[in-house]
Amino acid sequence: MSTLAHSRTGSPASAGEPSLALEGIGKAFGQVKALTRVDLTAYPGEIHFVVGDNGAGKSTTLKILSGMFRPDVGSVRIGGIEVHMRDAAEARQFGIAVVHQDLALVECLDIATNMALGDIPRRGRIMLDRARMERDAAKVLSGLKIRVGSVRTQIGLLSGGERQIVAIARAVRTNLPIILLDEPTAALGVRETAHVGEILDELRAQGKTIICISHDLEFVFRHADRITVMRLGNSVATLMRGSTNRDAVVGMITGTIGAAAESAQE
Ligand SMILES: Nc1ncnc2c1ncn2[C@@H]1O[C@H](COP(=O)(O)OP(=O)(O)O)[C@@H](O)[C@H]1O
Ligand SMILES: [Mg+2]
């Protein structure tokens, strides 16, 4: 590991063991080679951004981490142990929560129900425990300083930003140690983006491992601990935020700057 990784102060986990590591991941869809070689090591108490041009393989990488796709080659380690996740449910068992780009919220259901999907509280064997579901949702939202009016509001009535926040809150509600987000600010205004940033900072303070895809480099540089640049199906470099800058990252995204000299990875 690089000495830079140990030099930060204020992050509880920079000196710790990786919570998650991808090594030599490759993935093809028929003739399309989506990933050639992806290495990524993430730590608890850090926000790790993944950046790169469209088609670079960012979403595919996240989907491998969330159990949606299986890699053709390479290894996934969680807490140092190699795992083979077969689906999203298994990823959850390994401590991984995901906020996908399409959010996967159900328009006609309310906030509380959406937040509980997949894990609906019940009374007895079949009765839905509506009161508990609403209490849970309200508690998670207030913990994230999110005001949505009523948790009985239908998702279909919310703005893009509010939906994004509900989707993040749903992942946070699971209280899993690793949270993956695919472009959480893509459709958001300035204030909503800042709010998502505050939530990520809060999750970092709680010691979570956050892996976030973003094309918004201003957002990235405001919140990142580490940045992995992807290009044409490869992870080009992982950089500590404090030891790089926007021009260098843009250069790596576009391929005008080589990576070796800047990489903070082993
Ligand atoms: N399910 C799929 N089937 C076929 N090709 C795919 C699939 N998912 C992604 N790809 C291809 O893999 C490459 C990487 O895509 P993706 O991971 O979505 O990139 P990014 O998120 O960085 O924009 C692209 O060429 C894309 O067209
Ligand atoms: Mg994508």
Give the distance (Å) from ligand 1 centre to CA of residue 59. Answer: 7
What pLDDT is recorded for position 105?
81
What pLDDT is recorded for position 173?
84
Which of 27, 32, 102, 182 to mutate to test ligand 1, by most ligand atoms within 8 A of the CB atom?
Answer: 32
193 Cβ neighbours under 8 A, 6+ residues apart: 185, 216, 219
Whether ligand 1 lies within 6 angstroms of the CB of 55 is answered as yes
Q: Whose CA is nearest to atom 4 of ligand 1?
A: 29
Structure tokens at 264: 């903070």
What pLDDT is recorded for position 143?
81
Half-sphere exposure in the Cβ direction for 178 (13 Å, CA): 22
Domain at 1-95+177-266: CATH code? 3.40.50.300
Instruction: Report the greatest alpha carbon distance in the chain.
Output: 61
Report d(CA 170, CA 113) in Å as an integer.
10
Domain boundaries, the chain: 1-95+177-266, 103-175
Whether ligand 1 lies within 6 angstroms of the CB of 52 is answered as yes
What pLDDT is recorded for position 6?
38
What pLDDT is recorded for position 120?
67
Distances, alpha carbon 182 to alpha carbons 24, 70, 72, 122, in Å: 21, 18, 22, 31
**Using the 8-state DSSP alphabet, how is residue 154 labeled?**
B
Whether ligand 1 lies within 6 angstroms of the CB of 57 is answered as yes
Divide the 266 residues of the chain into consecutive groups of 10 and give the mean pLDDT of each group.
40 69 97 97 97 96 94 96 91 91 80 81 72 89 81 87 86 91 88 90 94 96 98 96 94 81 47
Q: How far apart are the first and last CA of the chain?
A: 5
What pLDDT is recorded for position 5?
41
What pLDDT is recorded for position 8?
40
Atom of ligand 1 nearest to the CA of 32: 5
Structure tokens at 237: 């470099």
